[in-house]
A and B are shown apart, each in its own frame.
Chain A
């Protein structure tokens, strides 16, 4: 077998093994709390056809993308400033430590109290949770910026935008990718909690509903739908971008 084919085979075997384990567990336990895969995938299938799952997943995904983008932009700006300027770093470092340690639930509740049960509250709550993590990663990245490249930009009068685009961002690419990857994983989990606490649509709201109805197949169906979406983002967007950004490396 060729190496790619072998890799694909391993991946398929891994999935099958997981499904098998799940099937056996549900057969042994015989409980409503753990339905077999066939039932869950049936619910997923009909939910997709009726458009209900797609509707709620799309809403959640929209919230994820907006807050993800905001967190990445603001976090990067803060991280860069702190990494490049010593005094800024010393001044804001305690703030960063503070925000890193505020529990997500506290931010969410406070945002709902301050901004009401609105979309703004959702976006702010999620972004505030993620910004400190991005800032810390990007600060590390900014500290590794090569001084000679910055001097090159100064001598040849690149200006701010050109320096950012051609000198800084390419050096920060691995840190951006790391922030993006951990961000995606963290943010969609936080968004679900936010939806559970104060929204009337989205995956988090649906999960809350199914929890009250004790509808485990639907809970699992939504989970699977969302995991698939995040995987598509990882393989379809993040990894191709990383390959493109790193094409100069031999």
Chain B
């Protein structure tokens, strides 16, 4: 499968006073198939905007985004983990998962197996309103993996969770991803998280219009990523000087 190529020469947003402002400019990225890429940047820098462009949720920009072509020549399967879990509250957990899956995936009982894998086998028939935020986030992760995507886009999926839950979910994401490496764009404002999760960290600028200021490979082993000190050393060495 080919990689993902992103080229955003300019993305403008209309302001309330009728004028507009350039949010993103001169962004050029190539992502290899199966690579886990963290996109790091301060809040409000346009990370979500970039992700929405890649997802095709926003088509109003100058530039070109080429999604990978699969071996069978089909358009690639996309999955998106939103900042909020975005589960349909009127459908049960299992119905929420089945809605995004193909007949074949449903037959292979992907939903049940993934739910069991994340410790949510019990709540398959519950409505999302009865779940905690951490549980809902897990369901939303499971949903993304249940479609067996070619590209997985994640928008700060662990924000506003307590650190312990967030860390459990990071471990879970690593496990799910290792089982089936997928091209991932993982957006975050937390540099430790970016380093811990990504094989590559792309840092976006604080100044508008936002562009890429750093593009680093993270040469840490899986075991080192688990250790906060190792992540911290890497962070100090590469991001903060």
Contact = CB atoms under 8 A, between A and B. Distances in A.
Interface of A: 148-149, 151-152, 154-156, 158, 162, 166-167, 170, 245, 248-250
Given A155-B55, A155-B78, A248 B86 contact: no
B185 to A, nearest CB: 13
A166 B129 CA distance: 16
Interface in B8-37: none
Given A158-B99, A249-B129, A152 B90 contact: no
Contacts of B86: 148-149, 151-152
A152 B88 CA distance: 9
B232 interface: no
A174 B99 CA distance: 23
Given A167-B88, A248-B89, 18 more contacts: A148-B82, A149-B86, A152-B80, A152-B88, A155-B55, A155-B78, A156-B79, A156-B80, A156-B99, A162-B99, A166-B88, A170-B88, A170-B90, A245-B90, A248-B90, A248-B129, A249-B129, A250-B130
Interface string B41-74: 0000000000000011100000000000000000
17 contacts: A148-B84, A151-B57, A151-B82, A152-B80, A154-B56, A155-B55, A155-B57, A155-B78, A155-B79, A156-B99, A162-B99, A166-B99, A245-B90, A248-B90, A249-B89, A249-B129, A250-B130
A156 B100 contact: yes
B110 to A, nearest CB: 14
Q: Most chain-B Cβ atoms within 10 A of its Cβ — which of A158, A162, A167, A248?
A: A248
Interface of B: 55-57, 78-80, 82, 84, 86, 88-91, 99-100, 127, 129-130, 147
A248 B78 CA distance: 28
Interface residues of A, dominant DSSP? helix
A152 B84 CA distance: 11
B178 to A, nearest CB: 24
A152 B79 CA distance: 9
Contact of A155 (B80, B88, B89, B127): B80
B127 A152 contact: no
Contacts of A170: 88, 90-91
Contacts of B129: 248-250
Q: Most chain-A Cβ atoms within 10 A of its Cβ — which of B79, B90, B127?
A: B90
Contacts of B99: 156, 158, 162, 166
Nearest to A148: B86
A148 B56 CA distance: 14
Contacts of B88: 149, 152, 166-167, 170
Contacts of A167: 88
Contacts of A155: 55, 57, 78-80
Given A162-B99, A170-B90, A250-B129, A152 B82 contact: yes
A248 B127 contact: yes
A168 B73 CA distance: 32
The 8 closest A-B CB pairs, nearest first, are: A156-B100, A170-B90, A248-B127, A248-B90, A155-B80, A148-B86, A152-B86, A250-B129
Nearest to A249: B129
A208 B187 CA distance: 72
A155 B81 CA distance: 10
